[in-house]
Structures are given as structure tokens and as C-alpha cells.
Amino acid sequence: MKNKLKLIVLLTLTICLLGSCTFIPAGKLDSLYENNQDSVIVSGDPSEKNNPGNDTVTISRDEYERYLKFSEMYEIFNFANEHFYQDIDPDKLVEYATRGLMAGLDDPYSYYYNPTEFKEMWEEDEGNYPGIGVMISSNPETQICTISRVFKGSPAEEVGVRRGDILYRVGEDLYVNSTNLQEAVDIMRGEPGTDVDVTFLRNGEEITFTITRRVINVNQVESTMIDNHIGYIAFYQFAGEAEKEFETELNQLISNGAEGIIIDLRDNPGGWVEQARYIADLFMDKGVLCYIQYRDGKKLSDEYVTKDGKIDIKLVILINENTASSSEILTGALRDCAGAVTVGVKSYGKGIIQGVYPVGKNGAGYQMTIAQYYTPKGDAVHKAGIQPDYEVPLPEGDNGAYEFADTKNDVQLSKAVEVMKELLK
């Protein structure tokens, strides 16, 4: 009982530190806690030797009642600490309890990062990290993890990994799905210069490659002129300094004579909303990027706004079933406010926003879904997606593994060029 109450004191102290509670000096209490209508006092055992005499905190009754919900977890923790047949790792138990807490939200986009994972997440966002050089699209419903991009000059490209391959197994034992994808990614990152065996499914057949890891330098944007008047920008992910890369490529295309721009957001999984706002601002005058709705139900229009000073240019946007999140925010804004025409197939439909936050003092973090968004005209995106103006599915058996700007074989890009030529007439 005393051990359990020590844990109560520890957690209560942590809650108070986070919540700016007031500490009060402890006198000798007849019981280990006292309460009244508004507050609860929790103390250590004053009969113990070397009692510092300042081990009492006061918290609100609401906080105390919230704490009691964790009592079963601490009871199990305590029992394992004393009776499990081997020595336990307390930090590991706490980490897994925290992961379970996030899993209880029943949201595939809300999860915990331990310190190593949080550090790697930021490294990956910056575009410089050890690995094999692939981007993976995960479908929480089917649990299938598909290669959506193979980076140029990467180890994966060199051995023959293709866009559209399904990530099936890493090493001998880890069969990959959406739930354990992070574990698979951690293994594939590893130390530069070391090998990892990765198995993919391609046309129903297993293909295993031995891939040597090395540091990957990721470009998020790539562009070219398709003809004398049409510029093409492939935008892969909202990460790093992608918005500045985009602006640089856009300016170069305009200086080369582009009167219309095709923005390819196919297989772009999204990323930072602020980067979507920055890019939309290039093509929009003062207006709303998207409406944000929090749990109170109010739709706010002032969180992400654009300013006057748009570039006057024709826009066509390519989207597909893997165009998600910030990509859909940008597509909806440019469609509603900049006259952009959309080509491809219906987008993924991830109309929710996550916040990313540090937690604790050891470098851990978490992300959590905090809001839903709507296009400037009020259209919901979540689980609905964006329906293109021109629907162009890929031919049967075509996984979209084309060379960059392949207007000959890529039927969706060919249609986008055709649409742009009509706009420029």
C-alpha cells in the first residue's frame, strides 16, 4: 500500500508541475491524504525516517479524480516490479503504457514517438537520413504499405525497387502492415554501409533485394518545361523546405516562358499545413486557405490565410488516390480560389490535421489529431476526398511507375497537358 501511495505522490507531483499547482508545506498528517469539496492533499508516509517534511502537494478534486483512473495501471506496474519472474525495465513499461494510451484514441494518425523515433522523424522531415531511399504510403484500412516513390540515385533504385511495389517483409521475420510500419522503417534506416534484406510483392510475386543502406538526400520538388508554354512541377511531400524549393522551381519555369503550370500532387502524402499556405499564397489573393473545425464545432477562417499579390498563371493539378492531407488542402484552395482544374482520380480523403508536440524531458514526442478542415467553399474532405474535374484512371495493370514527366506513357499527365493547352487558347 505504501509503495502504491508513493507512486500516487510521484504522479501527483508530475501533474502539479505541469498544471502550475501550488505546493504547501506538510505537517504530520493522521492519514496519507485528506480532502474537502474543492481540493485533495496527498502526502508520503510521515512516519518514515528521513522524511524531508515538504512532501505534500495539493491538487484540485477534478485532477485527483482523473488520476484515480490510472490506479489499475499503477497497481499492475507495482505488482510486476515486485513479483514478475525476471527483472523488469520500468522505462519500457511506461513507454508501452503511453503507446497504449494513444492507441485508445482509436485514430491511426495519433501516436507516440520515443526519443529515438522523435529525433528520426525530424531528420526525415529535413530530408537527410540513413536508409534505402523510398517513400511509403500506408493504408490504415487495408493495412497495405505501398512504395509511392523511389528516390533518384538511392540504394533502392539501384537494386530495382519500383514505385507501386508492396512492402511485404523486412529481414526474415517482420511482415509489414500499417501497424508495425514504423518498426520496419527503423530497421531499414540502420547504419550506413550495412545491408538489409527487404521483400516486396510485385504482380503477386515475392521479390527480395539485399540493399546497402546509406545517407539519403531527398529533394521534395522536381520540375521541367513540357513545351514552350507549359511548366511541370512534381511535388513529392510537404517537408523540409519544400515550399521554398517549389517557389524556386516555379520562378525558373516562368522565366523560361511558362504560361501555365501543371502541379503533380499524385502520391503526395501531405505534411506541414503552413507549407500548403505558403504555396497557395503564390497563386491566391487575400483569402482563406481552409476552414479549421475543432471539437467545439466552430469553423475558424483566420488560422491559415493568404495575402494579396498572386501570380497570374493557369493551373492544372494532378491528383490520385494517394493525394492526402496538405496536398488536399492545397488542391481545394487552388480549385476554389485560383481557378485550378483537377485531373486524375479521387484523392485519399484525409481531411484532418495533426499537431506534433514534444513531451517530457527525454526528447520524446507525440502527434495527435486536433481538427478537421474544409475547403474555402466549405466542402468536407475527410473520408470524401476531392473528385477531379477530369477523371482519368490508369489502365488496368498500370501501376504508374513512369519516368519523370513521361507524357507518352502517363495517361493522366497526358490529359493534364491536353487540358492546359485548352486553357491557354
Is pLDDT larger for residue 222 or for residue 2? 222
Annotate 83-101 with b (16+ C-beta within 10 A) or e (fewer): eeeeeeeeeebeeeebeee
Q: Which three cell numbers stand for residue 78?
A: 507495482
Long-range contacts of 283-286 (CB under 8 A, 24+ apart): 283/310, 283/311, 283/313, 283/315, 283/334, 283/338, 283/340, 284/310, 284/333, 284/334, 284/337, 284/338, 285/309, 285/310
Give CA–CA dist 55/23, Å, rounded: 9
Q: How confident is residue 53, by pLDDT bands cut at 50, 70 and 90? A: low
Please, what is the end-to-end C-alpha distance for the chain in angstroms? 82
**Each residue's pLDDT tens digit, 244-256:** 999 999 999 999 9
Long-range contacts of 121-127 (CB under 8 A, 24+ apart): 121/356, 121/365, 124/239, 125/239, 125/240, 125/271, 126/239, 126/240, 127/216, 127/217, 127/218, 127/219, 127/220, 127/239, 127/240
Q: Which three cell numbers stand for residue 216?
A: 539519403
On the question of pLDDT at 376 being above 90, the answer is yes
Is 350 marked active-site? yes
The mean per-residue pLDDT over the stretch 337-365 comes to: 96
The pLDDT of residue 8 is 36
**Catalytic-labelled residue, pool 267, 281, 336, 410:** 336
Q: How confident is residue 42, by pLDDT bands cut at 50, 70 and 90? A: low
The pLDDT of residue 402 is 81
Range with the poorest average pLDDT among 14-23, 42-51, 327-336, 373-382 = 14-23
The mean per-residue pLDDT over the stretch 353-364 comes to: 95
Q: How confident is residue 124, by pLDDT bands cut at 50, 70 and 90? A: confident
Is 325 marked active-site? yes
On the question of pLDDT at 64 being above 90, the answer is no
On the question of pLDDT at 24 being above 50, the answer is no
The pLDDT of residue 171 is 94
Edge-to-edge strand ranges of the sheet holding 33-35: 33-35, 39-42, 57-60
**Catalytic-labelled residue, pool 110, 165, 350, 415:** 350
Domains and CATH numbers, the chain: 2-88 (no CATH), 128-217 (2.30.42.10), 221-423 (3.90.226.10)
Q: How confident is residue 235, by pLDDT bands cut at 50, 70 and 90? A: very high
Q: How confident is residue 104, by pLDDT bands cut at 50, 70 and 90? A: very high
Give CA–CA dist 350/424, Å, rounded: 32
The pLDDT of residue 7 is 38
The pLDDT of residue 51 is 45
Is pLDDT larger for residue 38 or for residue 273? 273
The pLDDT of residue 249 is 97
**Each residue's pLDDT tens digit, 252-279:** 999 999 999 999 999 999 999 999 999 9
Is pLDDT larger for residue 186 or for residue 317? 317
Give CA–CA dist 80/73, Å, rounded: 11
On the question of pLDDT at 25 being above 50, the answer is no
The pLDDT of residue 339 is 97
Is pLDDT larger for residue 200 or for residue 186? 200
The pLDDT of residue 61 is 87
Is 336 marked active-site? yes
The pLDDT of residue 294 is 96
Q: Cβ distance 195 to 210 under 8 Å?
A: yes
The pLDDT of residue 338 is 97
Q: How confident is residue 396, by pLDDT bands cut at 50, 70 and 90? A: confident
**Each residue's pLDDT tens digit, 289-313:** 999 999 999 899 999 999 999 999 9
The pLDDT of residue 3 is 41
Residue among 287, 261, 265, 285 at smallest CA distance from 417:
261
On the question of pLDDT at 16 being above 50, the answer is no
Q: Which three cell numbers stand for residue 231?
A: 511548366
**Each residue's pLDDT tens digit, 66-77:** 888 999 999 999
On the question of pLDDT at 47 being above 80, the answer is no
3-state secondary structure of 244: helix
**Catalytic-labelled residue, pool 325, 326, 327, 347:** 325
Give CA–CA dist 97/322, Å, rounded: 32
The pLDDT of residue 34 is 47
- For the chain, what is the mean pLDDT? 87
Edge-to-edge strand ranges of the sheet holding 314-319: 221-225, 230-235, 260-264, 314-319, 341-344, 390-391
> Could you tell me whether strands 341-344 and 390-391 are parallel, antiparallel, or unpaired per DSSP bridges?
parallel
| 120 Rama sector, left if φ>0, alpha if ψ -120 to 50, beta otherwise | alpha
3-state secondary structure of 191: coil
Range with the poorest average pLDDT among 81-95, 196-210, 234-248, 392-406 = 392-406
User: Percentage of residues in the chain with pLDDT exceeding 70?
Assistant: 87
